[in-house]
Amino acid sequence: MVKNVLAIVSSPRRGGNTEALVDRFTEGAKEAGHEVETVFLRDKKIAPCIACEACLRNGGTCVQKDDMAEILKKIIAADVIVLSSPVYYYSVCGQLKVMIDRTLAGQGKMKNKEFYFITTAADGVEAQERTMNDLQGFADCVPGSVVKGEVRASAFHVGDIKGNPALEKAYQYGRNC
């Protein structure tokens, strides 16, 4: 069965370690015959949620006019969602957190997703547990969803990911999603 895979790269660093892992995942998914799209949050304008709750009263339309409406449509349409983030202070980066908060407008429309989480941290893979909990918290709010895999890698400077076994793990998850 062909799946619609949406990979979300939240790292502000172009060509960095987190992006390299997502590239391997999407390479595997494409080879498996899935439809794959990658969204780079660094290229999008997404304002923080202002907690006005208008989207909850008007059928899911946010009052803010930015790129989030387009991203939310892609999230709703996806079968598989890859959330990736560098670890900043033991949590997801701000770009991803802002996007997650803005998915409130999709409540009731987001459901039955397969999630994969990809993270990198300078402090090693053990330091990523809280970040994975943050990502799991989002998945828990999407009814019928399941986390199918996690890729954690220790990497800091651009290129540190080269030769890391996490690259193969990401590729295999993509091939088997």
In 3D space, the residue among 123, 127, 124, 103 whose CA is nearest the CA of residue 115 turns out to be 103
pTM for the full model?
Answer: 0.96
Q: Count how many residues are written for the chain.
A: 177
- The first and second tokens of residue 175, run together, are 């091939």
Q: Which helix (H) or strand (E) segment is 84 a member of?
A: strand 80-86
For 80-134, write each residue's pLDDT tens digit: 999 999 999 999 999 999 999 999 999 889 999 999 999 999 988 888 999 999 9
**80, burial (CB in 10 Å: exposed 0-12, middle 13-18, buried 19+):** buried
Taking the C-alpha atoms of residue 11 and residue 14, their distance in angstroms, rounded to an integer, is: 7
pLDDT level of residue 77 (50, 70, 90 thresholds): very high
CB 28 within 8 A of CB 170: yes
pLDDT level of residue 166 (50, 70, 90 thresholds): very high
For 41-75, write each residue's pLDDT tens digit: 999 999 999 999 999 999 999 999 999 999 999 99
